[in-house]
């Protein structure tokens, strides 16, 4: 019982942290950012503020189709749109990193079951895909009810949003449908962060990373040893050449000094007058 209660508390704490971040904090940040960037794009292109806001919002949350049919046509508009896309990419990456850094998410990779290779393979090939599929079916059904779509349309729209593809050519038109699609886009980022957090604890992936880093370090060590050997082979030759050059210069100096010394030591002999 104590273990069951601890597991239940951990599960509740995990979902509270993740959902509070993904359903409240991150959506507020996304909406504020979309207002600023969308307002800038609308001012450059002469659009209504709502069109710029929904255009940027759909791009930031990875919607398969923009919420509005507008497209930048001016040079400055396309530049601002590209800049907004870069900001959207960075923002989504930050959300993924925030979720993977949560304590309750980081502790998932410490579960002993992940060290089992069979469970690790099953997690990657079966559990993760089926969980994403079930989540897409649930959220797609909710979105279909809000937009009066068929279940199939809602299901494929959410799969398109999660996987970055375009399976359907429909767009949410109602405000609550667009808000739901925005939350789905943010949940997609959070789901990516959870998967990344759990992947760090899978046993055979850890072994592969350790083996890979070991091989890279060995290759680097061999390259460094080879370079040091080449340097050691070149250095004696240079030293010999330098010593030869020094010996040659000393010999030349001695040759120059010797005649001068001989000239300096030579004194002429005076003729002695032997006349009586």
- Whether the pLDDT of residue 240 is over 60: the answer is no
Give residue 23's pLDDT. 81
**More reliable by pLDDT, 43 or 8:** 43
Q: What is the pLDDT at residue 231?
A: 58
b/e 53-67 (16+ beta carbons within 10 angstroms → b): bbbbbbbbbbbbbbb
pLDDT for 228: 63
- State the pLDDT at residue 1: 46
Averaged pLDDT for residues 219-248? 63
Report which of 64, 18, 57 is spatially closest to residue 38, judged by C-alpha positions. Answer: 57
Enumerate residues 6+ apart whose C-beta is below 8 A from 34: 53, 56, 57, 60
Does pLDDT of 235 surpass 70?
A: no
- H helices of 148-202, in order, are 151-163, 175-199
Query: In this predicted model, what pLDDT tens digit does every residue of 125-140 receive, in sequence order?
Result: 998 999 999 999 999 9
Q: Spell out a b/e string for 129-159, using b for 16 or more CB atoms within 10 Å of the CB, else e.
A: eeebeebbeebbebbbebbebeeebbbbbbb
CATH no. for 2-205:
1.10.287
Q: What is the pLDDT of residue 272?
A: 47
pLDDT at 26: 86
Q: pLDDT digits over 61-119, tens only?
A: 989 988 998 889 999 999 999 998 898 889 888 888 888 888 777 777 777 677 778 88
pLDDT digits (tens, 9 = 90+) for 163-180: 888 899 999 999 889 999
**What is the C-alpha to C-alpha distance for residues 64 and 132, in angstroms, rounded to an integer?**
17
pLDDT at 156 over 90: yes
Whether 276 shows a pLDDT value over 60: the answer reads no
Distances (CA, A) of 21 to 16, 35, 93, 107, 250: 8, 20, 15, 17, 81
DSSP states along 189-242: HHHHHHHHHHHTT-HHHHHHHHHHHHHHHHHHHHHHHHHHHHHHHHHHHHHHHH
Give me the residue label for tokens 């609308």: 42
What are the two backbone dihedrals, phi and then psi, of residue 146, each rounded to the nearest 5 degrees?
-70, -35
> DSSP string covering 31-78, please?
HHHHHHHHHHHHHHHT--HHHHHHHHHHHHTT-SS-SS-----SHHHH
Looking at 149-153, 172-176, 200-204, 262-266, which range is the least confident one? 262-266
Mean local confidence (pLDDT), 143-172: 92
Q: Dump pLDDT digits (tens) for 189-221.
A: 888 888 888 887 788 888 888 899 998 988 888
pLDDT at position 266 is: 47
What is the distance between the terminal CA atoms of the chain, rounded to a whole angstrom? 146
Per-residue confidence band for 252, with pLDDT thresholds at 50, 70 and 90: low
CB 99 within 8 A of CB 186: no
Question: By mean pLDDT, which of 17-26, 126-135, 194-203, 230-239 is the weakest?
Answer: 230-239
pLDDT digits (tens, 9 = 90+) for 39-56: 999 999 999 999 999 999
More confident residue, 74 or 248: 74
User: In this structure, are residues 201 and 119 in contact, taking their beta carbons and an 8 Å threshold?
Assistant: no
Reading the block at residue 33, the tokens are 């950012």
**15 close to 99: Cβ distance less than 8 angstroms:** no
Would you list the domain boundaries of the chain?
A: 2-205
Please give the average per-residue pLDDT across 25-38, as a whole number.
Answer: 90
According to the model, what pLDDT value does residue 137 have? 95
- Distances in whole angstroms, Cα of residue 116 to Cα of each of 10, 123, 193, 201, 264: 22, 10, 22, 10, 95
């Amino acid at each position: 019982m104590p273990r069951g209660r601890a597991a239940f508390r951990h599960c509740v704490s995990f979902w509270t942290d993740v959902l509070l971040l993904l359903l409240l904090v991150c959506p507020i940040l996304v909406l504020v950012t979309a207002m600023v960037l969308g307002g800038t794009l609308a001012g450059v292109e002469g659009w209504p503020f709502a069109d710029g806001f929904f255009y940027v919002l759909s791009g930031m949350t990875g919607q398969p189709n923009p919420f509005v049919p507008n497209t930048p046509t001016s040079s400055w508009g396309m530049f601002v749109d590209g800049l907004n896309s870069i900001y959207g990419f960075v923002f989504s990456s930050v959300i993924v990193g925030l979720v993977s850094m949560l304590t309750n998410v980081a502790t998932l990779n410490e579960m002993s079951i992940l060290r089992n290779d069979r469970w690790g393979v099953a997690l990657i090939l079966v559990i993760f895909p089926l969980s994403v599929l079930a989540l897409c079916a649930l959220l797609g059904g909710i979105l279909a009810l809000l937009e009066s779509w068929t279940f199939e349309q809602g299901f494929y729209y959410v799969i398109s949003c999660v996987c970055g593809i375009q399976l359907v050519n429909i767009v949410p038109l109602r405000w609550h449908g667009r808000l739901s699609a925005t939350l789905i886009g943010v949940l997609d980022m959070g789901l990516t962060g959870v998967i990344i957090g759990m992947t760090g604890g899978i046993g055979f992936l850890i072994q592969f990373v350790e083996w890979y880093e070991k091989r890279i370090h060995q290759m680097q060590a061999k390259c460094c040893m080879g370079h040091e050997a080449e340097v050691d082979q070149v250095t004696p030759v240079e030293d010999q050449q330098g010593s030869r050059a020094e010996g040659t210069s000393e010999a030349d100096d001695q040759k120059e000094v010797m005649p001068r010394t001989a000239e300096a030591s030579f004194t002429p002999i005076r003729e002695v007058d032997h006349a009586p």
